[in-house]
Structure 1
Amino acid sequence: MPPVDWELLARFFRLQRLLRQEVEARLGPLGLSGLEAWLLKVLSQRPYPSEAARAMGLPPPTVSHMVRRLERAGFLAREVDPEDLRRHRLRLTPKGTRALRRAEALMAEAFARRASRLQEGERAELLRLFAKLEEDAE
């Protein structure tokens, strides 16, 4: 059965790539890449770069580089953590929040176009199957 597993993974990655490519082209005018939009989303929930790097599965230096660029572009601001004054956390600026909302809308539109090919029952089954595959990861 391994060939089927590889085929499933390959199709999953191709779909992700197609969605990212479609969205990337439309994020350019916002001054964001797809990876940077994802980082904004992660930082909106985990405001510390090291936590964001772990959540994204990226090396910390890569995330640090992206954070610096996003700060310079006005998408992020660094502030002292009120619970630990030795630590800084990141917050999305109003510009960053607007960009994240737009990126999420673009991704939702791109996915909705593809998902519209599925019948309602097929979408529900796909969601159920993905949830089942994720069970042991939680």
Structure 2
Amino acid sequence: MLNKVQIKVRGYHLDIFQHVNNARYLEFLEEGRWAFFDDFGGVELMEEGIAWAVVNININFRAEAGFGDTLEVQTRYIKLGNRSITMKQTIINTQTQDLVAEADVTYVCFSKTLKAAVALPDDLRQKIEQAIADSE
């Protein structure tokens, strides 16, 4: 499954060089992940005391984006561990089709009660495995 969400670059996203500040890309990527979870599921786990904790983010910046650009954040699963998932995210400038940034984000399935990483529920694991297979 590939999820896409668009974000318009606003003035408050810019730094003194008049392009998107690197810290804003973390927010854009997070918006993409929340949109992904809205469509894919997994948010309901929070009601059961399970959360997704980000444990690693690697971002490569490829091109600048500026005021008025529309950026498309694309998100998909790429790797599944016993207690973790890794997502690949790309940010594309929709006007130029330039790759603006790409990131790998790793989460662990975290029990709020136990305050520890736990194995993914079997039904969710199967759903993620299928999503990874479908996107290859």
The normalised TM-score by structure 1 is 0.29
Q: Which has the larger radius of gyration?
A: 1
- Where is the strand percentage greater, Structure 1 or Structure 2? 2
The normalised TM-score by structure 2 is 0.29
